[in-house]
Amino acid sequence: PLVFRRRVESGYAAGGWFGPSWSSTADQRLEIDAEGVVFISEDGLLLSYPHPAPGLPTLPEAGPRWPLERDADGDYTLTDPASGRVLHFTGPEGGGDGVARLAQVMDQSSHVITFDHDDEGAPTDIRHSAGYHLKLTTADGRITALHLAGAAADGSDQELVRYGYTDGNLTEVINSSGLPLRFAYDDERRVISWTDTNDRRYDYVYDNRDRCIAEGGEAGHISVRIDYHDADPATGHRVTTVTTPEGHTSRYVVNDACQVIAQTDPLGHTTRTTYDRHHRPLTHTDPLGHTTTHTYDAAGHLTTLTRPDGLETHTTYNALGLPVTITGPDGTTWHQTWDEAGRRTSLTDPAGHTTRYTYDDRLIATTDALGQTTRVMCDPAGLPVEITDPLGATTHYQRDVFGRPTTITDPLGHTTHLEWTVEGKLTARTYPDGTTESWTYDGEGNCTSHTGPTGATTTYEYTHFDLLAARTDPDGVRYAFAHDAALRLTQVTNPQGLTWSYEYDAAGRMVSETDFDGRTLSYAHDAAGRLTARTNPLGQALAFERDTLGRTIRKTTDGRTTAYDYDPAGRLASATGPDVELIYQRDRMGRVKSEMVNGRVLTHTYDALGRRIRRITPTGATTTYTFDAAGNRTTLTASGHTLDFDHDAAGRETARRLDDTLTFTHTWDPLGRLTEQTLTGPAAATAPLHHRAYTYRADGHLTAIDDQHAGPRTFDLDDSGRVTAVHARRWTESYAYDEAGNQSHA
- DSSP secondary structure of 239-270: EEEEE-TT--EEEEEE-TTS-EEEEE-TTS-E
**What is the predicted pLDDT for the residue at 233?**
86
- From residue 133, alpha-carbon distances to 116, 149, 150 in Å are 11, 5, 8
Asked if 679 and 690 count as a contact pair (C-beta separation under 8 A), the reply is yes
685, 668: one domain: yes
Whether residue 499 has pLDDT greater than 80 = yes
185, 41: one domain: yes
Q: Is the dihedral of CA 556, 557, 560, 566 positive or negative?
A: negative
Residue 523 lies in a domain: no
**What is the predicted pLDDT for the residue at 108?**
85
- From residue 601, alpha-carbon distances to 221, 619, 639 in Å are 56, 9, 18
pLDDT digits (tens, 9 = 90+) for 441-468: 999 999 999 999 999 999 999 999 999 9
734, 609: one domain: no
Q: Is the dihedral of CA 685, 687, 690, 693 positive or negative?
A: positive
- Across 111-117, average pLDDT: 96
626, 734: one domain: no
Instruction: Compute the distance between CA of residue 129 and CA of residue 141 in angstroms, rounded to an integer.
Output: 27
Residue 511 lies in a domain: no
Whether residue 420 has pLDDT greater than 70 = yes
19, 125: one domain: yes
Among residues 146, 174, 118, the alpha carbon closest in space to that of 402 is found at: 146
102, 122: one domain: yes
Share of the chain above pLDDT 90, in %: 92
**What is the predicted pLDDT for the residue at 33?**
95
**What is the predicted pLDDT for the residue at 547?**
98
Residue 140 lies in a domain: yes
- Across 216-236, average pLDDT: 93
679, 604: one domain: no
Asked if 23 and 15 count as a contact pair (C-beta separation under 8 A), the reply is yes
Asked if 549 and 311 count as a contact pair (C-beta separation under 8 A), the reply is no
Among residues 135, 156, 155, the alpha carbon closest in space to that of 145 is found at: 135
**What is the predicted pLDDT for the residue at 48?**
96
Whether residue 55 has pLDDT greater than 90 = no
Residue 119 lies in a domain: yes
Domain boundary (459, 474, 495) is at 459
174, 102: one domain: yes
- From residue 729, alpha-carbon distances to 23, 704, 709, 710, 711 in Å are 72, 13, 12, 9, 7
Which region holds residue 609: left if phi is over 0, alpha if psi is between -120 and 50, else beta? alpha
Record the pTM: 0.93
Domain boundary (433, 459, 485) is at 459
The Cβ-side half-sphere exposure at 429, using a 13 Å CA radius, reads 14
For 170, other C-beta atoms within 10 Å of its C-beta total 26
Residue 533 lies in a domain: no
Average pLDDT along the chain:
96
599, 689: one domain: no
Residue 438 lies in a domain: yes
615, 701: one domain: no
SS3 content of the chain, % helix, strand, coil (to 5): 0, 55, 45
Residue-range definition of the domain harbouring residue 63:
1-196
Domain boundary (180, 196, 212) is at 196
Residue 403 lies in a domain: yes
Confidence of residue 684 (pLDDT cuts 50, 70, 90): low
- Number of domains the chain is built from: 4
16, 62: one domain: yes
Helix (H, G, I), strand (E, B) or coil at 464: helix
**What is the predicted pLDDT for the residue at 746?**
86
Helix (H, G, I), strand (E, B) or coil at 25: helix
85, 177: one domain: yes
**What is the predicted pLDDT for the residue at 682?**
85
Instruction: Provide the 8-state DSSP code for 614.
Output: E
